[in-house]
Amino acid sequence: MLKLTDIEKIYQTKTIETVALNRVNLTIGKGEFVSIMGPSGCGKSTLLSIIGLLDEPTSGTVEIDGRPVAAYSDRELAALRNQKIGFVFQSYHLINDLSVLDNVELPLLYRSGVGGKERQQRALAALDKVGLSARTNHFPSQLSGGQRQRVAIARALAGGPELILADEPTGNLDSVMGEEIMDLLLTLNREDGVTIVMVTHDEHQAQKTERVIRFFDGSQVS
Ligand code: ADP
Ligand code: ADP
């Protein structure tokens, strides 16, 4: 599904040059659940941004479904980003003055060909999937951290993604809620076949995934 070859990412400011990723080679197959570990600053978020087509490498190639990203048109890339890939962040990134349902519908608003009724149906189905059917009219501030992360996962799911990129999805949660979110991700992977790439600092959670990739200082070490 995804192949990274010789990926380098260099952040250049006036005075400093930071090599965030140094010749990274990585293949992620359809249906895999991969975790990425490594100390702070080693390039994990940069890698997720590149995989998620939010940022471009300084050099190297990214291939999606056997085709280099450079060969896709801007329109095709926008469609990939919006439809194939779902993002989940440590800090949820929900909009506080929108209801749970409106938050989950939001990404579908910008998608052509999805009308209001279908939007709502898809959002409700996603909320059902994450066990939050009873909270659709609540606001984020009325939910626990674990529930907020479920809303964020439902928002990612509503778009029907093939790939979910999760940046420390349990980082702000206590161990019980973290475990619940981890179980939810495992279910989505096993039952719905969603490919998942997750950055985590939690060794116990990483061990539950199929493959652990370790980074140090911009390079893959195992
Ligand atoms: P991690 O997610 O593992 O903590 P990051 O990918 O966020 O690591 O960062 C990797 C390195 O790149 C760090 O040294 C960080 O300071 C640097 N970096 C990240 N983003 C930028 C940026 N926008 N400009 C300059 N340097 C950056
Ligand atoms: P943190 O781990 O510091 O709490 P997040 O998990 O919110 O931060 O975000 C992790 C990474 O994703 C950061 O490198 C950040 O720059 C990036 N990021 C955060 N929000 C967005 C967004 N809406 N779109 C794209 N990238 C984002």
185 in a structural domain = yes
**Ligand 1 centroid to 13 CA: how many Å?**
12
**Ligand with minimal distance to 165 CA:** 2
Question: Which residue of 12, 42, 58 sits with most ligand 1 atoms within 8 Å of its CB, as the best mutation to test the pocket?
Answer: 42
Is 55 within 8 Å of 46 (Cβ atoms)? yes
Q: What is the pLDDT of residue 175?
A: 92
Characterize the bridge pairing of strands 195-199 and 163-167. parallel
Q: What is the pLDDT of residue 113?
A: 83
16 in a structural domain = yes
166 in a structural domain = yes
Query: Residue 119 pLDDT more than 90?
Result: yes
Is 58 within 8 Å of 10 (Cβ atoms)? yes
Q: What is the pLDDT of residue 83?
A: 87
CATH number of the domain within which 175 lies = 3.40.50.300
Is 93 within 8 Å of 172 (Cβ atoms)? no
216 in a structural domain = yes
Average pLDDT over residues 158-166: 95
Query: Residue 110 pLDDT more than 90?
Result: no
Distance CA 41, CA 54 (A): 18
**Ligand 2 centroid to 117 CA: how many Å?**
31
- Looking at the CA of residue 49, tell me the nearest atom of ligand 2: 26
205 in a structural domain = yes
Give the rounded percent of residues in the chain with a pLDDT score beyond 90: 92
> In terms of Cα–Cα distance, which of 169, 91, 154, 146 is closest to 124?
154
ipTM (interface pTM)? 0.68
Give how many domains the chain has, as a whole number.
1
Query: Residue 40 pLDDT more than 90?
Result: yes
**Ligand 1 centroid to 125 CA: how many Å?**
36
121 in a structural domain = no
Q: Which residue has the CA at smallest separation from atom 17 of ligand 1?
A: 20
Q: What is the pLDDT of residue 22?
A: 96
Distance CA 185, CA 197 (A): 10
> pTM value?
0.88
Range of the domain at 34: 2-95+161-220
**Ligand 2 centroid to 164 CA: how many Å?**
14
65 in a structural domain = yes
Q: What is the pLDDT of residue 98?
A: 97
Average pLDDT value over all residues in the chain: 95
Query: Residue 155 pLDDT more than 80?
Result: yes
143 in a structural domain = no
Q: What is the pLDDT of residue 112?
A: 76
Q: Tell me the CA end-to-end span of the chain in Å, nearest whole number.
A: 21
- Looking at the CA of residue 167, tell me the nearest atom of ligand 1: 2
List the structure tokens of 111.
């998608």
**Ligand 2 centroid to 89 CA: how many Å?**
6
* pLDDT tens-digit series, residues 63-79: 999 999 999 999 999 88
Q: What is the pLDDT of residue 50?
A: 96
